Amino acid sequence: MDRFRVAIRPPLEQRRYLRLCCCGLPAVAWFEPDDFLVTLRCFGDVQEAARLDLLEALEEVESAPLALGLASCQIGPRHGGGTVSLQAIRNEPLDALIASIDRATRPLRLKQRGGEEPRLILGTYRHCPAYTDDYLLQFAGLTVPAFVATQFGVYREHTSPKRTYFQEEQAYSLADRLIPPG
């Protein structure tokens, strides 16, 4: 059984910029830019038959391309350790995309993991560093240029003791019209 994320991969320019910001907390295992994903939904313990059903169900998702921004650096708990992440800035088009994903996947009754808020994980840690408040202040003024998401995808999560990475299973194009941020 595998874990899967329904996510938006930011453009390479934004991923490279974010990677330059990933420093200052030596206890953090920072993700590589290819693994920076804005996770919309996360499903755990998915068997092969359910994976195929998930990929098929997401064909029904309807959404237009949408402007997406990132803000609010957070350091939070995760399975005995934690994550350093940026929250996605919520807007009507993003909420509509998430609602469409929920409608498409609800009949599958897959176990959702994680929180409901879309976010981009920058790295993980085993023990929370004592100086995280100083680190959050460093990120307080961080501005990540908004980008237009023209597709979302399903990504298989691979985790080893040294690294977590994501393999794209399937990409889904969003319609050819732009909905401005709310």
As for how many domains the chain has, the answer is 1
Portion of the chain with pLDDT greater than 90, in percent: 48
Which residues does 143 contact at the CB level (< 8 Å), separation at least 6? 71
Q: Which two tokens stand for residue 35?
A: 């693994």
- List pLDDT tens digits, range 75-102: 776 556 778 888 899 899 999 999 999 9
In a domain, 179, yes or no: no
User: Residue 21: which domain range?
Assistant: 2-173
Q: Which two tokens stand for residue 41?
A: 């939904």
**pTM score over 0.85:** yes
In a domain, 11, yes or no: yes
CATH code for the domain in which residue 10 is found: 3.90.1140.10
In a domain, 96, yes or no: yes
Residue with the bigger pLDDT between 30 and 156: it is: 156
- Per-residue pLDDT at 133 exceeds 70: no
Say how far apart CA 88 and CA 40 lie, in whole Å. Answer: 9
Which DSSP letter does residue 15 get? H
- Per-residue pLDDT at 114 exceeds 80: no
In a domain, 146, yes or no: yes
pLDDT at 38: 96
Least-confidence region, from 5-19, 69-83, 162-176:
69-83
Portion of the chain with pLDDT greater than 70, in percent: 84
Say how far apart CA 20 and CA 60 lie, in whole Å. Answer: 37
In a domain, 82, yes or no: yes
